[in-house]
Structure 1
């Protein structure tokens, strides 16, 4: 059995990955600033900005998952992400551990057509430029042969057990549970990919089990074709027994609120994704590993059921 170490053990994807590792009888080490005890895993507190602590928690690992989530603020990202990535890269090299970095699609900017592993970086946001920078740090290590690693990319996600880290969960499912009108950002008429969180966790475990998958980028399984915001809300409303009316929040409103609300200010610069939509093409993963993503209707139904039970 290999030792699988999760850096950022309290996050959404870690929550989904943990039972998968346990079911497969892997040794598990959970690392976060404030670890929550899990009986069948090592639980260690560490600061990813402290190199000595990162070296210590990575030592002895076979697979390391970088699932850290930082405050949604580009200044925090600019300050901390390069330090974290360099610490984790060096710690994995010292431990001879393989690294899987769970990433988003921010480095690609606006893409006409499908977004896949060959899509060039063209970030148009501050946060996208930071993600592209740390991706290049990792890609350079991979290309040099100094580190076996994977960049695993997901679209923005939705699913059960993730509430405050998912815009669709917050604006659609949470509001429907409160008998409120569901909301969507900028444009509810363009198709926009969303990754189902259980699919993402299963996929990164699959990648960990295939040595030939390393030193590559992989788009994680995401249903296709993408739904529009209106279509997503219609399905959610059906299973939440609520209204399928859509309240679209215009970009200028988010910009105005962002003058007073730091989180909305950070969301504002990313709203090109909602204005123009995008299609994440995961066919490489699906064809390589013979895995099909959960259809939107099935994922939305399961998410609705989880919200209704809560």
Structure 2
């Protein structure tokens, strides 16, 4: 059931983690406003729901965001851009979110990632941030903006740091082709290395964590937690499990690092992926002991069930043209 007078504004709700969080809120009958650039796409994704309001627009529209923020107690900052468009866009949209949150001193949910740290084998909440890439530096700047806003008493922040996302409606080029390849009996691609342990988080599980943290009493104005998800022994073994559940024979396809360097000569997007290559060449792990102290009963969806749910979502999305 809905929790009191909480009113949620979700930005990026047709994307990966934003979609999962919006679905979690709607399951609890919370009042949710979704700011979307494509209303028709959102209607296909969510269907009719009595507690959901769709507003068409862009989070770069500062006045619109402040208007929506005036009625929100919680704002989910799930806005993302292609790598090559991060510079400038991410800072501007985050400033807009902060100004919208300041109206009601709302709580901002921020999905953090591991780019802030460079190549560090294990990351805790006290690990010094030392980015080695342009996008890592941008992430550090965004989190500094969030922390400074709480220092000024303008809002509250829940920063949940996570590894790679996967799950229903995770449509990025690293994840969606794995599941669609498995369904079609075609090669399942990956980057750099598929033979080392890799940490992944199932988006519906992350959404549950965000919602549980929203209901926690007396959290500090700025809180940061790692959510580790699950470590698979290798992407190759994980893909084989996906294919088995899909009822097909696993086929693997590995894109080598030199290919991105070569393509980066002609494509800004490929240059950005090449810069982040260390993420796929090494095992980097988040430690989430701090989160489990706050949420001691936290459970993950079993890998078998999570894969089955994601495959079913892709079957249906292909059928309905999502």
Matching of residue 147 in structure 1 with residue 158 in structure 2? no
User: Where do 1:104-143 residues align within 5 Å?
Assistant: 104-112=113-121, 114-143=122-151
Kindly tell me: are residues 81 and 22 of structure 1, through their superposed partners in 2, closer, same or farther at Cα, counting changes over 3 Å?
same
Tell me if 1:185 matches 2:191. yes
Cα displacement (A) at 1:300: 2.6
User: Kindly tell me: are residues 281 and 298 of structure 1, through their superposed partners in 2, closer, same or farther at Cα, counting changes over 3 Å?
Assistant: farther
8 Å contact from structure 1 (residues 221, 285) kept in 2: no
Alpha-carbon offset, residue 245 of structure 1: 4.5
Corresponding residue for 1:50? 61
Tell me the residue number matched to 2:99.
90
1:1-53 Cα offsets, whole Å, 9 max, x none, are: 32111122221222222232222221111112333355422222333223222
Pair 1:243-2:252 in alignment: no
In 2 relative to 1, CA 305–32 (structure 1 residues): closer, same or farther, beyond 3 Å?
Answer: closer
Instruction: Report matched runs for 1:212-291 at 5 Å.
Output: 212-214=218-220, 215-220=222-227, 222-223=229-230, 225-289=231-295, 290-291=297-298
Deviations 1:127-174 (A, max 9, x none): 111111111111222345442111112211111232x2261332x222
Q: Is the 8 A contact 2:74 2:108 kept in 1?
A: yes
Give unpaired runs (5+ residues) of structure 2.
Answer: none
Match of 2:24 among 20, 23, 30: 20
- 1:248-272 residue CA offsets vs partner (Å, 9 max, x unmatched): 2110012223334443332221111
Q: Secondary structure at the match of 1:167?
A: coil
2:134, 2:168 → 1: CA distance? 30
8 A contact 1:106–1:127 mirrored in 2 = yes
Residue 308 (structure 1) shift: 4.8
CA contact (8 A) 2:263 2:270 kept: yes
Q: 1: distance between equivalents of 2:232 and 2:290?
A: 17
Is contact 1:156-1:166 (8 Å) kept? no
2-side partners of 1:18 and 1:271: how far apart?
31
Cα-to-partner distance string for 1:96-138 (whole Å, 9 max, x where unaligned):
21111122221121112x2222222121111111111111111
SS at 1:294 equivalent: coil
**What TM-score, normalized by structure 2, do the two folds share?**
0.86
Q: Where in structure 1 are there 5+ consecutive unaligned residues?
A: none
- 8 Å contact kept, 2:15–2:169: no
| Residue in 2 that maps onto 1:99 | 108
Q: Which 4+ residue blocks in structure 1 deviate beyond 4 angstroms? A: none
TM-score by length of 1: 0.89
Superposition deviation, residue 282 in structure 1: 2.5
Whether 1:7 and 2:18 are equivalent positions in the alignment is: no
Asked if structure 1 preserves the Cα contact closer than 8 Å seen for 2:12 and 2:19, the reply is: no
- CA distance, structure 2, for counterparts of residue 226 and residue 282 of structure 1: 16
Query: What is the DSSP-based 3-state SS (H/G/I as helix, E as strand, rest coil) of the residue aligned with 2:206?
Result: helix
> Does the residue aligned with 1:232 lie in a helix, a strand or coil?
helix
CA distance in 2, matches of 1:301, 1:44: 32
Aligned-pair Cα RMSD in Å:
2.2
